Amino acid sequence: MGVALQIAPAHRNIGMELQDQSITALIAARDEAAFEQVFKQYYKKLHAYACSFLNDPDEAEERVQQVFFKLWERAGHLNLQGSIPAYLYRAVHNECLNYQKHEKIKSAHRLHVVHRMKNDSTTDKSMNKELEQQFREALNELPEQCRTVFQLSRFEELKYREIADKLDISVKTVENHMGKALKLLRLKLVDFLPFIAILLNI
């Protein structure tokens, strides 16, 4: 007389030596016990493997956790060919390579930004120096009293009446000198007009 053997469901009796095929099927079915076993069995080894790529324990931990997260989230859709450890090592390898590639892109972008900022700074300094020189030359070419009126108005911020009293001339004469100074400066500094307009309100 035969004896009927009752076999408990595989996902309720998971040991450390379960066959890959059984574990794969259980993980595909999102069996928490199977997933936990795989995590405990391979986590430290995978972490050490990731460290060999990244030389950064914290980042290696992030990469391995990401692999397990994807394994759980996509379990029902993953094509787990071959053994579970082979899949995990391959996934960690790819995760580390993608991270390194991303870091290289970020580093290249940072270098580009720094280089551009340096170039912009050099250009600005060169332009400011040239503007200062051109402005000084243009100012020196103004008639003496015209230049004096302009300097008192723009640099010392005196009102036209104050300038008139200071130079003992009429307000109308001050206005004429200012109009002449502004016209001549615009002509001399036409290439820098936007900057001059903002700087001196002309």
pLDDT by 10-residue block (mean), the chain, 202 residues: 35 46 74 88 93 90 91 76 82 90 76 61 62 79 88 85 89 89 79 57 52
> Can you give the pTM of this predicted structure?
0.45
- How far is the C-alpha of 160 from the C-alpha of 141, rounded, in Å? 22
Under a CB-based contact definition with an 8 Å cutoff, are residues 53 and 95 in contact?
Answer: no
Tell me the angle at which helices 193-200 and 171-188 cross, rounded to the nearest 10 degrees. 150
Under a CB-based contact definition with an 8 Å cutoff, are residues 14 and 27 in contact?
Answer: no
The whole-number pLDDT of residue 109 equals 67
The whole-number pLDDT of residue 151 equals 85
- How far is the C-alpha of 162 from the C-alpha of 156, rounded, in Å? 11
Other Cβ atoms closer than 10 A to 90: 12
- How far is the C-alpha of 176 from the C-alpha of 190, rounded, in Å? 21
Radius of gyration, CA atoms only, the chain: 39
Domains in the chain (CATH in brackets) are 12-108 (1.10.1740.10), 141-200 (1.10.10.10)
The whole-number pLDDT of residue 1 equals 37
Under a CB-based contact definition with an 8 Å cutoff, are residues 131 and 195 in contact?
Answer: yes
The whole-number pLDDT of residue 83 equals 79
Under a CB-based contact definition with an 8 Å cutoff, are residues 54 and 96 in contact?
Answer: yes
